[in-house]
Amino acid sequence: MKRRAAVLALAALLATSAACSKPGAKKATKEQVTAALQAEAATMKRDGEKLDPSLGVKATWTIAALEVKEQPDNASTPYVGSVRFKINSVATDPMGPAETNFERTFDYGYDAKLAKWLFKPRS
């Protein structure tokens, strides 16, 4: 009886994984991947602004642009995206505050198999 239950459980697991991997399986929409990239950008902003107060630096990251492009001929990476930040950094200096403004762009590729954005270093 236990063997039969194990075989049935294995068959159900195989049927579920086969259904998920069918070519007609639902692919992520542009709206879904854009929302995921916005969440990634918010995390980067939070982490970028999290500095040790003893360093005497305060950074403010502003999301200046977020772009998602479709790649219809690329099943493994159906979307590419980029996030551009404007960063304002104020450091405490013996001569007074020193302010620096600059921009950084981060490029991503959406991995269809993992269903998440992966950072792509610029070449």
For the chain, the structural domain boundaries read 25-120
> DSSP 3-state assignment of 69?
strand
What's this model's pTM, rounded to 2 decimal places? 0.74
List the strands of the sheet with 116-120, edge to edge. 57-70, 79-91, 98-111, 116-120
Provide mean pLDDT across the span 10-26: 46
pLDDT at 82: 97
Helices and strands per DSSP (H, E), number in the chain: 2, 4
Q: Is residue 5's pLDDT more than 80?
A: no
Q: Is residue 32's pLDDT more than 60?
A: yes
Opening angle at CA 56, ends 53 and 59, nearest 5: 80
Q: How far apart are the first and last CA of the chain?
A: 59
pLDDT at 11: 43
pLDDT at 25: 54
Residue 85 dihedral angles phi and psi, to the nearest 5°: -110, 145
Q: Is residue 17's pLDDT more than 70?
A: no
Residue 59 contacts residue 51 (beta carbons within 8 Å): yes
Provide mean pLDDT across the span 33-43: 97
